[in-house]
Amino acid sequence: MNSLPGRAALLLCRRTAAGGTRPSAGAPWPLAAGPMPSFQWVRVCHSGAKPKRSVSTKKRGYDITRNPHLNKGMAFTFEERLQLGIHGLLPPCFLSQDVQVLRVMKSYETRSNPLDKYILLMTLQDRNEKLFYRLLTSDIEKFMPIVYTPTVGLACQQYGLAFRRPRGLFITIHDRGHIATMLNSWPEENIKAIVVTDGERILGLGDLGSYGMGIPVGKLALYTACGGVGPQQCLPVLLDVGTNNQNLLDDPLYIGLKHRRIRGKEYDELIDEFMQAVTDKYGMDCLIQFEDFANSNAFRILNKYRNQYCTFNDDIQGTASVAVAGILAALRITKNKLLDHTFVFQGAGEAALGIAHLLIMAMAKEGLTKEEAAKRIWMVDSKGLIVKGRSHLNHEKEEFAHDHPHLKTLEEVVHTIKPTAIIGVAAIAGAFTEKIIKDMASFNERPIIFALSNPTSKAECTAEQCYQLTEGRGIFASGSPFNKVVLADGRTFYPGQGNNAYVFPGVALGVIACRVRHITDDVFLTTAEAIADMVTEEHLAEGRLYPPLSNIREVSFKIAVKLVNYAYRHSMASVYPEPKDKEAFVLSHIYSPDYDSFTLDTYSWPQDALTVQDV
């Protein structure tokens, strides 16, 4: 396992569900205590073993226990309870944070429905922020499918019913001219990262209108849990311009604007004003991530703002980075170069075009021209193979239109083109049929099959289908998690999950740390290479094309350090002087879910200085 330097990573051992205390990091188990009990080792990027940070607050009483940033529940000491005026507002019980985690876990395990688990975790986030992130970081692989894909898709569909407490800022088309005022409603001033959506293309679920707020909320939770970006520096935003989802318009319980989407000049003016208002208030180095915008707007918005603001589109650039990382790792199995491969995409939208452009950049590093690289990439959309002479092709698709007879189905395309890799990003469940998978296995010794659509219900094929139909020769990755697959001969594969969470938390941490003003595509290729480099031979042997999700905080930290080095090398950073120790510099920006101490700083003067003067 790749490890962080000692200062940058702290191995915390926690007792498993049986309960108990946690020994100090690095301390030997005392022999007098008897045999060492069963512990679960959890790797956490941490600020090091040091005393609790003491903070002061002017809030008292209920304001403390109702504030998720300050609330520690029953972890408040007796002294803190007296000083903060909350003694009596809590049960007469004193718990460590580890015991609190066990209490939440016990409640969590009683819930079988993923949506119920999601609601429990979001309620915890609303109540006790530090405990929420301590829980997530204790087993990120377990909780990520709940706080993000695939469960977040279901949560967005049910957002109106699951809505408990506002998280984030809802800005509507009717607020044009007043967005700066609306930003003043947000209680935090030091915002470093914003995730914004207009809810038109939520995962593979389509237009969910204002229910799409679940995406920025979930995404920013991963900024903190996976990357260590401070939660109070993050702002989720939903731009509500209406919805074209008739079911929502007819639903009396829908919580968004009940009219069809506003487009054209009014829409563009809203986005312009939003970008200007954000940077006026939070600075030009405030990171703005666009998320789940429809194809008609995603590329247009990205191209318009990418050289003006610190911004990126995760559906285009984040997906591209994680997909290319998986392909680069797969090259260590196929034992050849990118230029030796032919790619067929099921889908020609944001994700497909983003991946294709990053592949072209990667092939250019192997010596190909842009035109030569594009010839190795084929795309299939709803009308079939994209070829020259086909009508109604937009500019983005034209780049990948080749001289070839038109083919209507993906099966025909795969059979005719004979690609080495197929990549599904169109959210068409089952698009990789048995015939397609078997054809891929007949053309290639090690076929690359990426079913990247989210959520799981939209995946082009399952991991089991890929491994079984290719007799274990398929190199598989998916967008949503799949369980391990055991073949009849006993071989076991752990499917690689091409989760964007490998990319955006580390990119955000690095960009925020050195205050990068513009995020280039080179940043995402650098990130892809960094992720691929962290995949070991042992991981590849198990079928993994990505580091285990349990190591994602370590992955994000290494990406951030690499990007900080890159930024200073290419004069992209705004923090000066340049820090000598980049790891320590990045580490200083990482949020810790450990509780702070609210005990007052008490001390005394010398006795003679305290003498009371009398007449």
Report, as residue numbers or ranges, the catalytic residues.
148, 219
| Spatial distance between the Cα atoms of 21 and 16, rounded to a whole number of angstroms | 10
| Spatial distance between the Cα atoms of 97 and 83, rounded to a whole number of angstroms | 20
CB atoms inside a 10 Å sphere around CB 407 = 18
Let me know: does 13 contact 22? Beta carbons within 8 Å.
yes
Nearest residue to 433 (alpha-carbon basis) of 425, 443, 424: 424
Nearest residue to 448 (alpha-carbon basis) of 344, 371, 572: 344
Strand, coil or helix: 475: strand
Is the link from the previous residue into 187 a cis peptide, with omega within 30 of 0?
no
| Spatial distance between the Cα atoms of 2 and 175, rounded to a whole number of angstroms | 49
Strand, coil or helix: 502: helix
Is beta strand 311-313 parallel, antiparallel or unpaired with respect to 343-346?
A: unpaired
CA 490 to chain centre: 34
Q: In what side-by-side order are the strands of the sheet with 384-385?
A: 384-385, 377-381, 343-346, 421-424, 448-451, 475-478, 496-497
Let me know: does 197 contact 210? Beta carbons within 8 Å.
no
Nearest residue to 341 (alpha-carbon basis) of 362, 314, 318, 311: 362
Nearest residue to 498 (alpha-carbon basis) of 482, 517, 518: 482
DSSP string, 317-342: IIHHHHHHHHHHHHHHHHTS-GGG--
Is beta strand 287-290 parallel, antiparallel or unpaired with respect to 193-197?
A: parallel
| Spatial distance between the Cα atoms of 508 and 277, rounded to a whole number of angstroms | 21
Structure tokens at 41: 């080792």
Q: What does the DSSP 8-state code read for residue 88? A: T
Q: What does the DSSP 8-state code read for residue 300? A: H
Task: Using the structure block, give the residue that is written with the tokens 């050195």.
Answer: 514
Task: Using the structure block, give the residue that is written with the tokens 């005393």.
Answer: 51
| Spatial distance between the Cα atoms of 129 and 122, rounded to a whole number of angstroms | 10
> Torsion-angle region of residue 194: left (phi > 0), alpha (psi -120 to 50) or beta?
beta
